[in-house]
Chain A
């Protein structure tokens, strides 16, 4: 799980163009939206694409997003359980 979390942080930095951040700057349990990284709706779409592209996960129900994208840890937990690649 820890390895997946670190990998996910790197992928988020690349996908969202956080050129000033390193994986160490992202707190595993910090909120991704609002406080924390302060992501917006376009970022949310990028995260959905990232899950599809990198892990073969297609999110069909938008309601799931709120829980899945709460933090890097919740994303990693969902990925570990549902990944197809």
Chain B
């Protein structure tokens, strides 16, 4: 399904195929949200604040299988995705986003709201800015969910 969505909404980024499922999910969600609706200037100043409940457990499990007893061939390409915040980096690279990126492990999406409020009320300077925020969850191969939005605020 994610590959079909990639071909429909992107199709010009071969690195997509090297990503783990969590990154593919975040990539597609960001692609749909950002494509054609946000100027490059806005994107460059944007921050990324994502969260989920299961961290990178799906990829961690896949990697674990490559270092099991009797079959010790640790996969470098799986290892690089054994952190959930990698998805924020993949999105930032794709869209040339240069703001802060962060990824939180939370029990529920509601817990992300105060974090976002805190971000916009921080003493950082820079005027109006946007943040790509949301929930990006993948705990099993074909069980994933993403909901993202762009929130605008002022950091003055």
Chain A interface residues (CB < 8 Å from chain B): 16-20, 42-43, 45-46, 49, 52-53
Provide the bound-state CA to CA distance between A43 and B76, in Å.
8
Q: Which residues of A contact B14 (CB under 8 A)?
A: 18, 20
In the complex the two chains form, is B3's CB within 8 Å of A19's CB?
A: yes
Q: Which residues of B contact A53 (CB under 8 A)?
A: 73
B106 adjacent to chain A (CB < 8 Å): no
In the complex the two chains form, is B80's CB within 8 Å of A17's CB?
A: no
B12 to A: closest C-beta gap in Å: 11
Sorted nearest first, the 5 A-B pairs with minimum C-beta distance are: A45-B76, A19-B17, A17-B17, A53-B73, A42-B76
In the complex the two chains form, is B17's CB within 8 Å of A20's CB?
A: yes
Q: Which residues of A contact B77 (CB under 8 A)?
A: 16-17, 42-43, 45-46
Provide the bound-state CA to CA distance between A17 and B51, in Å.
27
Provide the bound-state CA to CA distance between A55 and B56, in Å.
31
A49 to B: closest C-beta gap in Å: 5
Which residues 12-65 in B have Cβ within 8 Å of A in the complex? 14, 17-18
Interchain Cβ contacts under 8 Å between A and B, 11 examples: A16-B18, A16-B77, A17-B17, A17-B18, A17-B77, A18-B14, A18-B17, A19-B3, A20-B14, A20-B17, A49-B75
Query: What 1/0 mask marks residues of chain B from 61 to 79 whose CB sits below 8 Å from any chain A CB?
Result: 0000000000001111100
B76 to A: closest C-beta gap in Å: 4
Provide the bound-state CA to CA distance between A20 and B17, in Å.
8
B1 to A: closest C-beta gap in Å: 14
Given A17-B18, A20-B14, A20-B17: A52 and B75 within 8 A (CB)?
no
B11 to A: closest C-beta gap in Å: 9
Provide the bound-state CA to CA distance between A72 and B131, in Å.
44
